[in-house]
Chains A and B, each alone.
Chain A
Amino acid sequence: DAGITQSPRYKITETGRQVTLMCHQTWSHSYMFWYRQDLGHGLRLIYYSAAADITDKGEVPDGYVVSRSKTENFPLTLESATRSQTSVYFCASSESGNTIYFGEGSWLTVV
């Protein structure tokens, strides 16, 4: 039972580069979420998706793009990475009305 997996787990990239963080869940959950967590702070919602081909902005969407062509995948793309996007990124999923489960995180450093 793989659950929810994120890749890469660790990434260093340069300012201005495009970066894609992958998220895959094996439960066929309808809802998927992307959060970011800056050092010493709580999680902030970037984007979420209620189903395939349906996505919406969260609290801090600027600089990010998402897509959801398949139910099980929810990639997050930083179109032109900036140092302020250095963070830990968490993907999560849930079935309607049920508990939200989180992945183990992707550590991204932008230099």
Chain B
Amino acid sequence: DAKTTQPTSMDCAEGRAANLPCNHSTISGNEYVYWYRQIHSQGPQYIIHGLKNNETNEMASLIITEDRKSSTLILPHATLRDTAVYYCIVRFWMDSSYKLIFGSGTRLLVRP
């Protein structure tokens, strides 16, 4: 299973873009990159996912490098409510099921 590496913490100013990096150098060709966030101790909230193309939805954009060994989650206009722990996860198939293995994530603090 591919592991991910993220910075422990980051901060950004409210209204600015938040760029959260993630390394997944051992990712396999058919494994997706997923991003979730967790606010306080609520259930993890799905943000976005991608395989090799860049993706955008109403919450964020996901930029995946051409070699797929790293990606960046972009929150284009961060608000105070975006303060959370962000998890970059490689979803893989093993033992008859898709699995998400969580790391420690990046704690994002959005400053007023």
Contacts and interface: CB of A to CB of B under 8 A. Distances in A.
Given A42-B87, A42-B105, A99-B49, A48 B43 contact: no
Interface string B87-112: 10001000111111111110000000
A13 B97 CA distance: 32
Given A105-B41, A105-B42, A100 B100 contact: yes
Instruction: Tell me which of A50, A54, A102 has the highest count of chain B C-beta atoms within 10 A of its own C-beta.
Output: A102
A90 interface: yes
B47 to A, nearest CB: 10
A48 B97 contact: yes
Nearest to A41: B104
Nearest to A54: B96
Contact of A97 (B36, B45, B98, B99): B98
A107 B43 CA distance: 11
A99 B50 CA distance: 11
Given A41-B104, A42-B87, A102 B43 contact: yes
Given A50-B96, A56-B96, A45 B41 contact: no
Contacts of A67: none
Interface string B74-93: 00000000000001000100
Contact of A101 (B42, B46, B97): B46
Interface of A: 31, 33, 35, 37, 41-45, 48-50, 54, 56, 58-59, 88, 90, 94, 96-97, 99-105, 107
Interface of B: 34, 36, 41-46, 49, 87, 91, 95-105
